[in-house]
Amino acid sequence: MNKEFDKLSEELEDIKKKNEELEEPNKLEDTKNLEEEIKEDMKKSSEELEKKNKKKAGEQQESAEEKMDDLSKKLSEMQSQMQSEANEENLEDLRALLENIIQLSFDQEAVMENLKIINVNDPKYVIYTQEQKKLKDDSKIVEDSLFALSKRIQQLSNIINKEMTAVNFNMEKALDQLGERKTAQANSLQQFSMTSLNNLALLLDAAVQSMQQSMQQQGKGECKNPGGNKPKPGAGGMKKLQQQLNKQMEGLKKAMEEGKKSGKGKKPGGQGGMGGMSKELAQMAAKQAAIRKAVEQLRNQIGESLGKGGGNLKKLGDLMEQTETDLVNKNITNQTLLRQQEILTRLLESEKAEREREKDEKRESTEFTDDISRNPNSFFEYNKRKEQEIELLRTLPPTFNNYYKLKVSEYFNKIEQ
């Protein structure tokens, strides 16, 4: 045991050295004195055992045990504190980045909309080109912040690098096209950069929500009475939320169409039409993402136990994800609305399957026995009713022509065979 504790002390010392080598070292409490006291107690216990003094050896062992327990608690508290501080720092950075990315997307949209409505010979064209150059510089700052964050949150690194590469590439190419006064080509590239920025915003928003939920669960600790927590919404609750979102999307699509007809969709600065609706579209995308996450949680809880309704859940998630993409890209079409109706139909099926499952769980099972009751009278009665029904069908309506009369006769001939 003395040797094992010496090994443990060496490992703790190694951890402290590695911590000092970090760019931002964690605050580790000094446990050296406590470790030395434990070693001293264990050493004295060994000496007393050699002297055959079991009582004093036992006292030293108890003292060492208590101090080991204290050391364990201190290390556990340090670990929890470091994790909590790291999560809080990551959460603040994620929120700040999310706001910057959303603002960058809105600014890109404003430049794009302004370029659409001016002539290439207008002096303002140069000003908007300079604004595009500033957006390119701003995206570099966002990229550096994202890269620093991805080193701390490894699961984000691949997607962040992919989307930021797309943002930088499209903004750079858009600047080249603007230099040659090719507005249409530049607008297309600007739209691609907005799509990547919106994808990043969705990714970071999901990461923020996941981290908040994780921190809330950590704050609850080892809760022994979770009954006070509100239950997660089932298919019925999600259906109501989806109905509200569908109505909201239908109303927004009508407003967008009316705005285009009246020409309000081309106000400078993107304040009218699609530009003015960007915030509302982003909110709708967030709502759809929240419903999709609830569907995924329900699917993880029950698997495929809801039968057809359960089988719908994976497809539901895919459909909702497509809607999120349409919303962040400001592309609400008739196909989008049809997809929303399909989502609602599948949620209805899941709700029905959920109710049936609840009923099945309440049913009492009965034990099977080999005694099979046979009643000849019931069998004869069944045959009699069947013959009466066939005879009734033989009485063909006078409106039937010869073709259908022949078909009915063939049907009954087959039954009699």
Q: For helices 124-152 and 157-179, what crossing angle results, to 10°?
A: 170
Q: For residue 351, how far is the Cα from the chain centroid?
A: 21
Closest CA to 211 of 100, 296, 94, 298: 94
Per-residue pLDDT of 121-135, as tens digits, reads: 898 999 999 999 999
More confident site: 415 or 152: 152
Planar angle of CA 103, 108, 112, nearest 5 degrees:
150
From CA 166, how far away is CA 191, in angstroms rounded? 11
Question: How confident is the prediction for the chain on average, in pLDDT?
Answer: 75
pLDDT of residue 399: 56
Residue 101 pLDDT > 80, yes or no? yes
Closest CA to 38 of 77, 2, 79, 75: 2
User: Among 19-33, 67-81, 219-233, 351-365, where is mean pLDDT lowest?
Assistant: 219-233
Closest CA to 284 of 316, 241, 229, 318: 241
From CA 292, how far away is CA 324, in angstroms rounded? 10
Residue 192 in tokens: 């691609």
Q: What is the mean pLDDT of residues 159-166?
A: 86
From CA 13, how far away is CA 31, in angstroms rounded? 10
pLDDT of residue 398: 54
Closest CA to 306 of 362, 366, 344, 360: 360
3-class state of residue 271 by DSSP: coil
Tell me the CA distances in angstroms from 167 to 155, 323, 387, one per residue in order.
Answer: 20, 22, 76
pLDDT of residue 131: 92
Closest CA to 348 of 404, 384, 308: 308
Collect all residues with Cβ–Cβ distance below 8 Å to 89 and sequence separation of at least 6.
none
From CA 262, how far away is CA 269, in angstroms rounded? 17
Residue 164 in tokens: 């930021």
Collect all residues with Cβ–Cβ distance below 8 Å to 285 and sequence separation of at least 6.
202, 324, 327, 328
Helix, strand, coil proportions of the chain in percent (round to 5)? 80, 0, 20
Tell me the CA distances in angstroms from 80 to 11, 15, 31, one per residue in order.
Answer: 19, 16, 16
From CA 141, how far away is CA 100, in angstroms rounded? 10
User: In which element (H, E) is residue 206 found?
Assistant: helix 183-220
Q: What is the mean pLDDT of residues 140-154?
A: 79
Strongest mean pLDDT among 107-121, 232-246, 305-319:
107-121
Sorting pLDDT into bands at 50, 70 and 90, what band is 222? very low
pLDDT of residue 314: 81
Residue 338 in tokens: 């049809």
pLDDT of residue 270: 40
User: Among 219-228, 304-313, 385-394, where is mean pLDDT lowest?
Assistant: 219-228
From CA 188, how far away is CA 108, in angstroms rounded? 12
Q: How many CB atoms lie within 10 A of CB 206?
A: 16
Torsion sign (Cα): 307, 288, 333, 159: negative
pLDDT of residue 413: 66
3-class state of residue 401 by DSSP: coil
pLDDT of residue 177: 92
From CA 127, how far away is CA 124, in angstroms rounded? 5
Give me the residue label for tokens 């600790």: 221
Strongest mean pLDDT among 52-56, 129-133, 346-350, 373-377:
129-133
From CA 34, how far away is CA 79, in angstroms rounded? 18
Residue 173 pLDDT > 90, yes or no? yes
User: In which element (H, E) is residue 200 found?
Assistant: helix 183-220
Q: For residues 200 and 101, is the Cβ–Cβ distance under 8 A?
A: yes
Q: How many CB atoms lie within 10 A of CB 233?
A: 15
Per-residue pLDDT of 225-269, as tens digits, reads: 433 333 345 666 777 788 888 888 888 888 877 766 655 444 433
Q: Tell me the longest C-alpha to C-alpha distance in the chain.
A: 118
Kindly report the pTM of this predicted structure.
0.43
More confident site: 413 or 137: 137
Collect all residues with Cβ–Cβ distance below 8 Å to 333 and sequence separation of at least 6.
326
Task: Specify the length of the chain in residues.
Answer: 417
Closest CA to 153 of 215, 101, 91: 91
From CA 40, how far away is CA 58, in angstroms rounded? 14
Residue 35 pLDDT > 60, yes or no? yes
More confident site: 148 or 126: 126
From CA 329, how far away is CA 193, in angstroms rounded? 11
